[in-house]
Each structure stands twice: as structure tokens, then as C-alpha cells.
Structure 1
Amino acid sequence: MDDALVIGGTRFIGRHLVDELLEHGYDVTIFNRGSHENPFADDDRVRRIEGDRTNDSALEAAAIEAEPDAVFDCVAYYPKDVQAATRIFENCEAYVFVSSGAAYGREEIPKREDATPLADCSPEQAVDDSGATYGPRKAEGDRAVFAAAERGVRSMAVRPCIVYGPHDYTERLDFWIDRVNRFDRVVVPGDGTNVWHRAYVEDVASALRIVAERGEAGEAYNVGDRRLATLEETLGLIADQLDTTVEVVTAGPRELAAGDIEPADYVLYREYPHVLATGKLAGLGWESTPIDEAMARSVGDHLESDRDGSEHEPDRESEERVLGILDTL
């Protein structure tokens, strides 16, 4: 395969994917609406086609113009998007859908591609745009991938867990980096052992390329760091990269209530562990970046950016009330 079409390609996963493809000798075209700044505007190796991926006619026109060997669908959020794309690109050598670890419908440790069932998706959920239906919509997108493979399309799905790294516009990890960078004491909900599997963004990009090149039609592949880190350990990794120390102050629901905070208010906190098995992807030759190296790049990018995670709850003033209560115990 020589020519790749990235649907999306300018913000986060897609941006790193374009870099990954260029490093491996692909000619790359990106297809998007132009709603965000194009980091490849001055790179003559990357061609851009403007259009709305939810408009089938625009997507068909992009297919004719780009003539891709491989298609990477980074912004398919509704099942109908995947159904249309697998039809339009049915003659390509590879179609890879960016799904999600949220597509799983049962809590298991770990969640396995060929064993853990997907979430159900009702017709109403399939067209809903709320966060509550994100997982079901991705699951239905996976089923569209499987159905296309049965028709002879070489279509695959990649399921990342929480993605982090440079250019992360969600600012989820930035919230915690900012806390460690500014405060000696950082409140962590629960006992600090909570695990929400994460995936370094460059590893997600390499996974997408490897699945396109080596994956089997009709298969899904989980992607996540090969070494898990608890939330408390994550703060330690951040502190190491900032060359500082941090006191992790754990707080249960009763203590957090002093600041009108619930444990679930904290970004990257999940009461039940979310862990994805990644052996199937590793079997294709994929490897993950060492976690300290991934954190070093993430922290470095945070310091060079204006991201601080302040859009996420809770605010520091509320935490100070919690710390005050804990100091009296």
C-alpha cells in the first residue's frame, strides 16, 4: 500500500497518524471540513480535501480524487458513517475504523476482543449525540465493520482506551499534570489504586497503520499501554518528569463531600477497573512506548502549551475544603 486517506487528520489521533504514515513512506491525503487549524498546511507531502464526512456525496468525491489504498476513519461517530464508508471504500486494500474501548458492553478484567460482548445499540442511540451513547454507537460501528468484511471488504476496527499524549485537546491528563506542577498536595479520589487503562497516542497511530498492513478482515484490535498505572502511580510518573515531588492525598466519598465533590467528578477516575487485553495487537508485531518515555513527551508538550485542564472538575477551591477536613482528622 502506498496511498493513504485519513478522514480527520488535524487534531489528535489523526494528526499523529499522518506523521506515522509519512514516516513509513505513505503518500497521505486528509479529508475534513477545515474546522480546525491544519498542522500540515505547509507540508507538501500531505494533500487536503475539504468536505464533510457525514455527506456521502462528499465522501464519494474524496474517494475518487484520492484513490487511496488504505483508509483510516478517525471521525466516524455514528453507525451510518461506518456503513457509508465501508460501501464507498469497499475496493480499497484496507479500511480501518477508529472504535473505542467504550464499545464493550460488560465489565470484565481484561476486556477481550473475541470474548467480551459489545454494547447493544438501539435505533434511538444510533443517532443520539450525547456522551451516554458514545460506547453503543462505537459498538454498532464495529458491527458495521464486521458486516462489511462478510461482503468481502477488508475492514477492521481498532479500539483504543483513554488516549493521551501531545496535542490532546481533551485536556484530561493536562488536569493532573497541572495539579502536580502547581501544588505540593494533590487530592486523589478513592485510595489511589483506581485503574483506567490509557493508550499513548503515538502507539495508537502505529496500531492503526499495523492493522491496515497486517490485520485480518472483520477483526477488532484493542490498543493500550502494555504497562498499567494506577492514578496514584500516574501522578508519581508526572512528578518525576517535572523533577518535583508530590504528596498524594486520598479521599473517599465522605471526605470529598466537604467540597461538594463526588469521586466521579475527577477526570480519569473510574470506580470499576477498565482494562483492555492487548495481546492480539501485539501478535501483529505492535509494541507500546515505555510508559516513562510516553509521560515525558506528554509532560513536555503540556509545558509548551496553554492547556491546563481547568475545564474539568473539581476546582482547587473545593479541594482546599477537603484538605482542611482531612488535616483535622
Structure 2
Amino acid sequence: MDSALVIGGTRFIGRHLVNDLLGNDYDVTIFNRGNHDNPFADTEGVTHFEGDRTNDSALEAAKSEVSPDIVIDCVAYEPHEVRAATEIFADVDGYVYISSGSAYATEVIPKRENETELCDCTPEQATDDSHDSYGPRKAEGDRAIFEAAERGVNAMSVRPCIVYGPHDYTERLDFWLDRVNEYDRLLVPSDGQNLWHRAYVEDVASALRIVAEEGEPGESYNVGDRQLVTMDEMLGLIADAFETDVELVHASDRELSTAGLSVDDYILYRDYPHVLDTSKLASLGWESTPVAEAMERTVAEHLESERDGSEHDPGRESEERVLGVLDTI
């Protein structure tokens, strides 16, 4: 049986990754600081190695203890962490770094690996943990993968777009799930046709394993739902999963401004389409879950959770004022 070391592994993508690896006959070790509840504490085939991934000695100890065939790095947020890991795990069969669609610097449709320009990253950005430096840091991590492959390391990266699904602690989609579940009328920014490519978390998990097994060293692979949906279509899928109906009311920036709101106040709204080409990953044999099925699973877990996405709420009272204005037009 092959062994896998997952750096991270207990919260969102890593949690689904561990389940995917178990389902494909891997012995799994999760490496993290133990700051979050471990859903695999009593799971056969999963062991926990406690340590801080920013401590190279701890990673070296984990490698010595586990002797992994593959390593999947869920929590490398700074480029120097990727460089250290590719040195430490230079002889494994596959090291996979989770990058991001945010690594792309150019707004084109679609964004393609090896074609679309990546973000530059200054030395200051490389160690800055702010949101503004996220894309540049991920891009520089990709460049660390390219450099490692040139040294003969079997290192690859996977670039997800917005990830959604069960156990999403970011609660980005939970905001919209809660809205559909609680209200008959939803205020939708702009015309509801914006495209922000999303990726179902179980598909991201399978992509990470498949790239570790089948990917080419030095290559990056985009991952996202093979069927793109607009915001209106996404809300329709959510309503279907709840077995309910909602009225979608579209509002421009001008209309939203009557209550002090803007289109940018709405999570998962993006003015320019963000679309990734996923054909390269599909060529390895990867498949995505039908979006209706993915949404049904997401809604089912949402109902069992206590998440409501309230941190992303622009304010229902303000929305009601906008709805009132639109009703008079």
C-alpha cells in the first residue's frame, strides 16, 4: 500500500483529500500543529504527526518517520515554504503544491497553464500575509515548483479557482445558501450573469491525488468545475437543492447605492469573468462532479452545520430598502 503525507489535512480541502486518499488505498499521515479538531482521530489508516510546517526540522522528522510515496502540501502560503519542502521531499514519487487561480496576472478568458502570465512577486510580497499579496505569493510558489523540477524533483502544482463544498470554513457560499433558505426574494448584484469559476472540493481532492500519481514534473494544472455557471444559475441550483423557489432581483451599482451598497459588497461577485481552462487536468483522467449533485451535497452539509455566512452579509435591512426602491420603478 502506498503512503501519503498531507501537510494540513483537517479543515477543508485537506479533509476531503484525506478521504479521497483513503478511498484509493493509501495509508495517510496528516502533518499539522493540531490547532484544529482532527476529524480522523479515530479513523483506521490515518495517523497524525504534530509539527509546524514552517519548521524544516519538523518536516524532515515527518519524512523520516513516514517515508511517504507522495506529499501533498495544503498549507504552503509563502514561496520559501515551497522551496524548503521541495528540498526535503526531493526524492518522493510526487510532491504537489496547492497554488491558486489567483496566481494569474492577466485577465483573459480562459486562463491557461504555460500561456497566461503569472503575477510578479517582490521580496516584500513574498513574506507579506495580506490578501493583496496572495496571488503573487502563490505565483512565486509555482516558480519554486518549476525550479525544483529542473533539479530533478517530481514536483507539480494544482491551481484551484474558488473552492466550495462541505466543511468550507470560509463560509463564502454559505452566505448564499443561507439567503436562499431564508428568503423568497434575493437581491443579486448586477445582472446575475457574472462568471467566477468555482471548483467542488471533492474534485479538487481527486485532482491533487491524480496529479501526484500522473502529473508531469514542473507542470501546473488548473482545477474547476467542468460546467461553469453564472451567479443566477448558481442560485437556481441552490434553490433546487433546497426544493424551493426564489425570485432573483437584479440591482446595479446605482440602485444599490440608494442604501449605501455596491456590487463589490457581495461575495462571489466579480466584474470580469474568471475562467480557467481545465482540459490539461482532464487529460490525466480527472473528472468533475455534476454541479447539481455537488450542490445537493453542499446544501445537505450546510443544513447540518452552524455556518450562515453572516460575516459576508452586506445587511438585509439595506437590501430591503433597495428592493423597495426597485418595486417603485
The answer to whether TM tops 0.5 is yes
* CA-atom RMSD in angstroms: 0.7
Once the two structures are TM-superposed, the CA of residue 317 in structure 1 deviates from its matched residue by 1.3
The amino acid of 1:41's aligned partner reads: A
Instruction: State the match for 2:184 in structure 1.
Output: 184
What is aligned with 1:266? 266
Matched ranges for 1:313-324 at <5 A: 313-324=313-324
How far is the alpha carbon of 1:44 from its aligned partner? 2.8
Runs of at least 5 residues in structure 1 that lack an aligned partner in the other structure:
none
2-structure distance, mates of 1:292, 1:302: 15
Corresponding residue of 1:285: 285
Using the alignment, how far apart are the partners of 1:322 and 1:126 within structure 2?
42
Q: In the alignment, residue 16 of structure 2 is paired with which amino acid?
A: H
| Percent sequence identity over aligned pairs | 70
Residue correspondence of structure 1 range 156-235 to structure 2 within 5 A: 156-235=156-235
Q: What CA distance in whole angstroms lies between the structure 1 residues aligned with 2:132 and 2:259?
A: 26
The aligned runs of 1:21-36 (5 Å cut-off) are: 21-36=21-36
| Structure 2 unpaired stretches of 5+ | none
Counterpart for residue 47 of structure 1: 47
Amino acid at match of 1:12: F
Give, in angstroms, the shift of residue 69 of structure 1.
Answer: 0.7
The separation in 1 between residues aligned to 2:106 and 2:305, in whole angstroms, is 37
Equivalent pairs counted in the alignment come to 329
Q: TM-score of the superposition, structure 2-length normalised?
A: 0.99
Partner in structure 1 of residue 153 of structure 2: 153
Counterpart CA distance in 1 for 2:313 and 2:301 is 22
Partner of 1:312: 312
Q: How does 1:103-142 map to 2 (within 5 A)?
A: 103-142=103-142
- Cα separation, 2, equivalents of 1:216 and 1:106: 24
Distance 1:9 1:145 in 2: 21
Q: Deviations over 1:61-109 (max 9, x none)?
A: 1111111010000000000110000000001110000000000010010
Amino acid at match of 1:90: A
Distance in structure 2 (CA, Å) of the matches to 1:286 and 1:44: 27
Runs of 4+ off more than 2 Å: none
- One-letter amino acid of the structure 2 residue matched with residue 15 of structure 1: R
State the one-letter code of the partner of 1:270: R
SS in 1 for 2:264: helix
Given the alignment of the two structures, is residue 325 of structure 1 paired with residue 329 of structure 2, yes or no?
no
Quote the offset at 1:265 in angstroms. Answer: 1.1
Q: CA deviation at 1:57?
A: 1.1
Cα-to-partner distance string for 1:187-207 (whole Å, 9 max, x where unaligned): 110100000000000000000
Write the distance in 1 (CA, Å) between the matches of 2:88 and 2:264.
Answer: 41
Offset, 1:313: 3.1
Cα separation, 1, equivalents of 2:80 and 2:322:
46
Distance in 2 of aligned mates of 1:175 and 1:143 = 35
- Alignment correspondent of 2:62: 62
Q: How big is the shift at 1:254?
A: 0.6
Partner residue, 1:243: 243
* Distance (whole Å) between structure 2 residues aligned to residue 194 and residue 214 of structure 1: 34
Equivalent-residue separation in structure 1 for 2:254 and 2:82 (angstroms): 44
Q: SS at 1:311's partner residue?
A: helix
Residue-by-residue CA offset, 1:126-151 (whole Å, 9 max, x unaligned): 00010011010000000000100000
Structure-2 residue corresponding to 1:38: 38
- Which residue in 2 is equivalent to 1:73? 73
